[in-house]
């Protein structure tokens, strides 16, 4: 019967939900020195070893996106069940969600570093003493913090139209000790007016409504230094049909449009940029990264 099939499928999928939560719980226990019942701690450690094939103490900086991903996916999943018809909107202040999504976004830094290895000119620019990086849709500021951490000489500007998120970002940046290198602005990215201002600009396409993507790309293109790079990113997951549909759903509920790679490359070329390409993914964060050069 169809009802029985649906329940059986739900039971099977529930194991994946439990596994994600258990992995994040293990990471928190091992990196935050939290108290735990010994039996629970041992079971979480065993489950983590079963999932990732290791039984060592995680590095806090390296695994922060794991906790962010788990919190984000689980919180968004619950909200999807409670409010299944909603499309994207960021007019509600959900501090735990904003913080967890920000933690997850730290994984984008590894994608940027992979792009630098693939594009030596980008690496040289971001390593220069006067390098400037623009984080569009900075949210709670965690990607800006990750970029400042991985690039000791860089200066980062984070812009967002959501004042509540910038309040969180300001506190996070102060606590991380980067107030002297990260500047925050309440600003619409489509109204950027800084010709030649940046060496690289990150665009989080899943959070940008379809109607504003082209204006933002055009403004970002004008705001790059000659030889600067525009770095748009999208969500991604496994390559099977179900994973692709779930990624599209997450994108739409985040306020964005499920762009296909050829559409993104066409928009970058139309914005007057050259060498538009997708960076081959070699990082764990669920992000596809694209790059295009302003000559």
Residue 2 burial (C-beta neighbours within 10 Å; 0-12, 13-18, 19+)? exposed
DSSP letter assigned to residue 281? P
DSSP letter assigned to residue 35? -
**pTM score of the predicted model:** 0.87
d(CA 265, CA 229): 14
Structure tokens that stand for 43 in this block: 């079971």
Amino acid 264: pLDDT: 98
Listed range (9-13, 87-91, 168-172, 242-246) with the worst mean pLDDT: 87-91
Side by side, the strands of the sheet bearing 224-235 are 182-186, 155-160, 132-136, 198-204, 224-235, 287-293, 274-278
Helix axis angle for 142-150 and 95-105, nearest 10°, is 30
Confidence of residue 88 (pLDDT cuts 50, 70, 90): low
Amino acid 59: pLDDT: 78
Task: Provide mean pLDDT across the span 186-191.
Answer: 96
Confidence of residue 63 (pLDDT cuts 50, 70, 90): confident
Confidence of residue 68 (pLDDT cuts 50, 70, 90): confident
Task: Provide mean pLDDT across the span 60-86.
Answer: 85
Amino acid 108: pLDDT: 96
Ramachandran class of 36: left when φ > 0, alpha when ψ lies in -120 to 50, beta otherwise: beta
Amino acid 95: pLDDT: 86
Structure tokens that stand for 199 in this block: 């060496």
Q: How far is CA 62 from CA 57, 89, 121, 186, 271, in A?
A: 11, 30, 26, 29, 35
Task: Provide mean pLDDT across the span 238-265.
Answer: 94
Q: Does the pLDDT value for residue 90 go beyond 60? A: no
Please state the φ and ψ torsions of residue 59, each to the nearest 5 degrees: -80, 125
Please state the φ and ψ torsions of residue 57, each to the nearest 5 degrees: -70, 125
Amino acid 53: pLDDT: 84
Contacts (Cβ under 8 Å, ≥6 apart) of 39? none
Task: Provide mean pLDDT across the span 117-137.
Answer: 96
Contacts (Cβ under 8 Å, ≥6 apart) of 33? none
Amino acid 86: pLDDT: 77
Confidence of residue 55 (pLDDT cuts 50, 70, 90): low
Amino acid 93: pLDDT: 67
Query: How high does pLDDT run on average in the chain?
Result: 92
Q: Which of 112, 193, 115 is nearest to 148 (CA)?
A: 112
């Amino acid at each position: 019967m169809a009802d029985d099939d649906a329940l059986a499928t739900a039971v099977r999928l529930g194991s994946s939900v439990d596994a994600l939560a258990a992995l994040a719980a293990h990471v928190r226990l091992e990196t935050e020195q939290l108290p735990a019942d010994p039996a629970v701690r041992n079971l979480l450690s065993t489950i983590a070893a079963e999932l990732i094939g290791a039984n060592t103490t995680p590095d806090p900086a390296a695994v922060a996106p794991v906790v962010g991903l788990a919190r984000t996916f689980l919180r968004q999943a619950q909200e999807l069940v409670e409010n299944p018809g909603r499309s994207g909107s960021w007019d509600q202040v959900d501090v735990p969600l904003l913080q967890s999504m920000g933690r997850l976004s730290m994984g984008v830094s590894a994608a940027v570093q992979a792009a630098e290895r693939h594009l030596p000119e980008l690496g040289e620019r971001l390593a220069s003493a006067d390098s400037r990086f623009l984080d569009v849709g900075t949210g709670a500021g965690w990607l800006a913090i990750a970029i400042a951490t991985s690039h000791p000489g860089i200066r980062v500007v984070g812009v967002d139209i959501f004042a509540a998120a910038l309040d969180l970002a300001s506190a996070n940046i102060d606590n991380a000790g980067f107030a002297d290198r990260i500047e925050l602005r309440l600003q619409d990215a489509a109204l950027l007016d800084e010709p030649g201002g940046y060496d690289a600009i990150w665009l989080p396409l899943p959070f940008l409504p379809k109607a504003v993507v082209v204006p933002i790309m055009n403004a970002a293109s004008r705001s790059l230094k000659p030889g600067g790079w525009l770095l748009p990113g999208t969500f991604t997951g496994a390559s099977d049909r179900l994973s692709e549909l779930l990624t599209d759903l997450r994108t739409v509920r985040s306020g964005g449009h499920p762009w296909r790679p050829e559409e993104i490359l066409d928009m970058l070329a139309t914005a007057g940029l050259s060498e538009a390409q997708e960076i081959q993914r070699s990082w764990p964060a669920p992000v596809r990264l694209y790059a295009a050069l302003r000559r």
